[in-house]
Amino acid sequence: MKLIISSLLCLLISHSPCLAENYSGLPFSTNLEWLDSTKPGKGKKAELKARIGITGFAKKFVGKKYKYGALGPHQFDCSGYTSFIFQHYGINLGRSSKEQAKKGKVKRINQLKKADLVFFGTKRKVQHVGIVVETGKGKLMVAHCSSSKGVIIENVLASSYWKGRILFGKDVINI
Residue 63 and residue 115 in one domain: yes
One domain for residues 33 and 51: no
Q: Say if residue 113 is in the same domain as residue 129.
A: yes
- 57 shares a domain with 126: yes
Q: Is the same domain home to 15 and 78?
A: no
How many domains are there within the chain?
A: 2
Residue 3: CB atoms within 10 A of its CB come to: 13
Bigger pLDDT: 122 vs 12: 122
59 and 87 belong to one structural domain = yes
**Looking at the whole model, is its pTM more than 0.85?**
no
> For position 150, which CATH number holds?
3.90.1720.10
* Whether residue 91 is found in the same domain as residue 139: yes
- Residue-number span of the structural domain to which 165 is assigned: 40-171
Average per-residue pLDDT for the chain = 82
The phi, psi pair for 11, rounded to 5°, reads: -60, -45
Number of neighbouring beta carbons within 10 Å of residue 6: 23
Q: Name the band, by pLDDT with cuts 50, 70 and 90, for residue 160.
A: very high
CA distance 163 to 168: 11
Say what angle helices 78-87 and 44-59 make with each other, to 10 degrees: 130
Which residues contact residue 172 at a Cβ distance below 8 angstroms, ignoring those fewer than 6 apart?
86, 91, 93, 100, 103, 104, 116, 117
Are 108 and 151 within one domain? Answer: yes
Q: Supply the residues annotated as catalytic.
A: 78, 128, 144
Same domain, 44 and 30: no
What pLDDT, in 10s, does the model give residues 59-117?
999 999 999 999 999 999 999 999 999 999 999 999 999 999 999 999 999 999 999 99
What confidence tier does 41 reach under pLDDT thresholds 50, 70, 90? Answer: low
Higher pLDDT, 24 or 57: 57
Asked whether residue 146 falls in the same domain as residue 83, the answer is yes
94 and 29 fall within a common domain? no
Q: Are residues 22 and 104 in the same domain?
A: no
> Which pLDDT value is given to residue 153?
98
Find the Cα–Cα–Cα–Cα dihedral 7, 12, 14, 19, rounded to 10°. Answer: 0
